[in-house]
Amino acid sequence: MDYFNETQSTFKNIFQRFKKRDFSGNTGQAMKNSSFQLAQNLIIKISSFLFTIVVARLLMPELMGLYTLALSTIIMFSILSDFGIGSALFVFVAKLTSKGKDAEAKGYVKKLLKWKVYLLIFASVILLILSYFVSEIFYQKPIFYALLVGAIYLPILGFLEFLEIIFHAVGDFKRTLIKEILLQFFKLSFIPLAIFLLLKTTLSAKIIIALIFCVLIFCSLITLLIFWILAKKKISFLSVKAKNLNLKKVKGLKKFILPLTITILSGIFFGYIDTIMLGRFVESQFIAYYGVAFALVSSAISILSFASSPLFSTFSKLEGPVLEKMFKKSRNLIALISISAGILTYFLAYYIIKLAYGSAYLTAVPLLKWFSLLIIILPINGLYTTYFFVQKRTAIMAKIILLTTIINIVLNFLFINYGLRFGMFEAVLGVCFASIISRFVYFGCFVSFRKK
């Protein structure tokens, strides 16, 4: 009863603040930033949802599966370009700019950007070298040219993410909202048109998928150029002369990044290993069924996780009982919304799939029903991740993610092989169960370690 009374009180307080446009204090700042983050997430996911619908309906399951597999593989290789740099950038820039230490903040940006460039080059080269083996030998699917093009896409994706983190670190969620509107507009304008024209040709599936990624690069590059211009104009500390980091601070930065490296690598690997392993064992259309169901769930989770990123800057300024109170209020609010969304998704799964993707994708309905469980826990997981970052308990986070990633891989392998005894869809269903189990273990570990 206390939980519902507290949650009801929180809702009323938020409503009254929005009504009066009162964004004062920590709660007000969190509400303001969360509003921009929610708007951005809505634009991202509604646009991505529409984009996935259009692309899925145009390509149909077989080609859609190849596109999903190629994109997942490219993003998997992007883990080689992070190594915790994004998280370090967020933490140090947010804290230094809040204290007025702009020159030092730019010093960190300069150093981290240099490392980022090296890692992006490394990731692209590795992708180029391994593209033939991955596509023709491991997957045995026609995505070789798409992976080659992906080596160009990786740096653009990396720089877009780098700039977005800087905006978030200084509390400017409005510009990232503008960036996302532009990117989604370009994607929705050019890529479906390109697919429509390509499908009228006699080009092979290998060429068609590669050309789709060429258009994706074009859309991302235009957005990056505009976003960079906005950054130069709107982020004031970037215009000051950088204060170079001394050896002690560079060592401190590396020490901070080291445990995050495992966290980031395992986290992204955790998110895409399912599709990668399916690519090895099942035909492309079954990858599409898994991909469209997971895309729907991911969209819902991203929208429901709107508070996690904005709350970082708020949590970082709090400590002790005040921090705990803020965390509990946020957790209760997100939990109530997530549970409602999960239940709704389960009962409407058939209609969601049919309305969104058409009858060709109805095979994905059982997958979406099971994935509705993730809608309940993953938004709360995002909040726990933010809390642990603020508490600087990154070593514990690294252990949790590494453990659950290993569990996920083992379960995927076991369930896929068992499912293949009955059919390819049963193998996909096994991957679905492996994802759910490993993510519940992930959630349980966070809850357990927070109590200690």
Alpha-carbon distances of 263 from 29, 198, 298, 387, 401, rounded to whole Å: 28, 40, 20, 15, 6
Q: H-helix or E-strand containing 288?
A: helix 284-304
How would you write 351-400 as a 3-class SS string? HHHHHHHCHHHHHHHHHHHHHHHHHHHHHHHHHHHHHHHHCCCHHHHHHH
Helices in 21-84 by DSSP H: which ranges?
A: 25-77
Rounded to the nearest integer, the mean pLDDT of the chain is 83
pLDDT at 16: 54
pLDDT at 383: 75
pLDDT at 78: 84
- Quick one: what percent of the chain has pLDDT higher than 90? 44
If you search the block for the tokens 């009162």, which residue do you land on? 22
DSSP state of 139: I
Please report whether residue 325 resides in a domain.
yes
**Are the C-beta atoms of 127 and 74 separated by less than 8 Å?**
yes
Rank 78-87, 133-142, 260-269 by mean pLDDT and report only the highest. Answer: 133-142
Please report whether residue 4 resides in a domain.
no
Please report whether residue 19 resides in a domain.
no
Please report whether residue 16 resides in a domain.
no
pLDDT interval class at 122 (50, 70, 90): very high
- Domain tally, the chain: 1
Backbone angles phi, psi at 67, to 5 degrees: -65, -45
Q: Which domain holds residue 376?
A: 25-451
The span from the CA of 303 to the CA of 222, in Å, is 25
Alpha-carbon distances of 54 from 178, 196, 207, 300, 313, rounded to whole Å: 23, 10, 20, 18, 37
Please report whether residue 143 resides in a domain.
yes
Please report whether residue 151 resides in a domain.
yes
**Are the C-beta atoms of 417 and 345 separated by less than 8 Å?**
no
pLDDT interval class at 4 (50, 70, 90): very low
The span from the CA of 193 to the CA of 173, in Å, is 31
Range with the poorest average pLDDT among 150-164, 393-407, 416-430: 393-407
* Strand extents, DSSP E, 48-202: none
Alpha-carbon distances of 256 from 389, 427, 439, rounded to whole Å: 11, 40, 25
Q: 58-68: per-residue pLDDT in tens?
A: 999 999 999 99
pLDDT interval class at 268 (50, 70, 90): low
- CA quadruple 306, 311, 313, 316: dihedral sign: negative
**Residue 347, class by beta-carbon neighbours within 10 Å (0-12 exposed, 13-18 middle, 19+ buried)?**
exposed
Q: 185-198: per-residue pLDDT in tens?
A: 999 999 999 999 99
The span from the CA of 373 to the CA of 442, in Å, is 14
Q: 190-225: per-residue pLDDT in tens?
A: 999 999 999 999 999 999 999 999 999 999 999 999
Q: Is pTM, for the whole model, over 0.85?
A: no
Count how many residues are written for the chain: 452
For residues 91, 408, 124 and 63, what is the CA-based torsion angle, rounded to 10 degrees? -120
pLDDT (mean) for 66-77: 93
Please report whether residue 104 resides in a domain.
yes
Please report whether residue 190 resides in a domain.
yes
Asked if pLDDT for residue 8 goes beyond 50, the answer is: no
